[in-house]
Amino acid sequence: MKAVIAENLVKTYNKGSVRALDGLNLDVEEGTVLGVLGPNGAGKTTTVRILATLLSPDSGHASVAGIDVLKHPDEVRKIIGLSGQYAAVDETLTGWDNLIMFGRLYHLSAKAARERAIELLEQFSLSDAAKRPIRTYSGGMRRRLDLAASLIIRPKVLFLDEPTTGLDPRGRQDMWGVIDDLVKGGVTLLLTTQYLEEADHLADEIAVIDHGKVIARGTSDSLKKQVGGERLEIVVENANVAATKEIVAKVSGTAVNVDEGLRQISAPVTTGSKALIEAAKMLDEAGIHPLDIGLKRPSLDDVFLSLTGHVAEEKIAEVSDATSGRKKGKK
């Protein structure tokens, strides 16, 4: 069953001069994680805001758990959770007070709100900081609390819009662990990110968005296969670059790439470790001792560059009212 469906979504700004979404189509199977990957300005946040009932498209259709997002937004809000790029918590309140507030906004009784707050603070390792003002929290703690608030009602579908933006590597790893636990609990998750490693780690499938359209979709491995198989990479001394290039060309039978600055010679190969062994043998026979030699599988960086012509981290002007820095509370 499809938990999330978006069909031909179009959203424009500046009187139609900028198309944030240009006929976007995607869906998420129930109980799975779809990673939506793209640079800033690709349309990721706009897509999430439409699916979360915070923004209306110019045209197209969307549904969550079989409920039409445009026709029945109130019903959709009862079954979803949303954590955006910017923490929606009140910095003047404690972590405990924030969760109680969100519980009451979701119409939980005072008792139910307290019980749920205790559960979530424990789940997200925030119990010891529950009575501290949010302004004393680290960035990672704030993001965990924001995610906890989005789970107050035990949503069937969770939207995470770049949940680790601004976190240091340790904070990002901690957040990944939290998200992994949620997925194991059966939550359907749509995750947007511009971190290729994040999509690779968390998502069952990945949809690559650029200029408001899904330009590719598949598992991490299937997307990597689109840019070819493994590459043989060898680093040598300057004096051996030319000879090594000839050897790599014989082994690969394809065009060879030479990075003069790194003294790296590389080419795609189809025989895997056999090509590596053959190259090493030929180098030894030629008296060339490589500084580094190995096989490299295509990364999602390679996929994104191949599909879009630019790297995922490239900054493209974001034209979206979602950049206000605030997430609207759902009632």
What is the rounded average pLDDT of the residues 57-83? 96
What are the DSSP calls for 212-277, one per residue? TEEEEEE-HHHHHHTT-S-EEEEE--GGGHHHHHHHHHHHH-S--EEETTTTEEEEE-SSTHHHHH
Q: Domain of 281: which CATH number?
A: 3.30.70.100
User: What SS3 state is found at 48?
Assistant: helix
Confidence of residue 329 (pLDDT cuts 50, 70, 90): very low
For residue 311, the model assigns a pLDDT of: 52
- The answer to whether residues 292 and 258 belong to one domain is yes
- The answer to whether residues 71 and 166 belong to one domain is yes
pLDDT tens figures, 17-50: 899 999 999 999 999 999 998 888 889 999 999 9
Task: Give yes or no for residue 331 having a pLDDT over 60.
Answer: no
The answer to whether the CB of 298 falls within 8 A of the CB of 266 is no
- The answer to whether residues 214 and 318 belong to one domain is yes
Looking at every residue in the chain, the average pLDDT score rounds to 88
For residue 24, the model assigns a pLDDT of: 97
- What CA–CA distance (Å, rounded) separates 55 from 44? 13
pTM of the predicted model, to two decimals?
0.76
Do the domain assignments include residue 52? yes
For residue 280, the model assigns a pLDDT of: 96
- The answer to whether residues 199 and 66 belong to one domain is yes
- What CA–CA distance (Å, rounded) separates 77 from 23? 24
Q: What is the 3-state secondary structure (H, E, C) of 60-81?
A: EEEEECCEECCCCHHHHHCCEE
- What CA–CA distance (Å, rounded) separates 214 from 203? 16
Burial of 165 (0-12, 13-18, 19+ CB in 10 A): middle
**Around Cβ 53, how many Cβ atoms within 10 Å?**
22
Distance of CA 197 to the CA centre of its chain: 8
- The answer to whether residues 291 and 159 belong to one domain is no
Confidence of residue 327 (pLDDT cuts 50, 70, 90): very low
- The answer to whether residues 185 and 240 belong to one domain is no
Element (H, E) at 26: strand 18-29
For residue 309, the model assigns a pLDDT of: 64
The number of domains in the chain is 2
Task: Give yes or no for residue 324 having a pLDDT over 60.
Answer: no
- The answer to whether residues 219 and 237 belong to one domain is no
Q: What percent of the chain has pLDDT over 70?
A: 92
Do the domain assignments include residue 93? no
Confidence of residue 318 (pLDDT cuts 50, 70, 90): very low
The answer to whether the CB of 82 falls within 8 A of the CB of 48 is yes
- The answer to whether residues 181 and 267 belong to one domain is no
- What CA–CA distance (Å, rounded) separates 317 from 40? 7
Q: Tokens 């895997």 — which residue?
A: 272
Reported as half-sphere exposure (CB side, CA atoms, 13 A), residue 303 has a value of: 29
Do the domain assignments include residue 255? yes
Q: Which domain holds residue 56?
A: 2-79+155-225+310-324
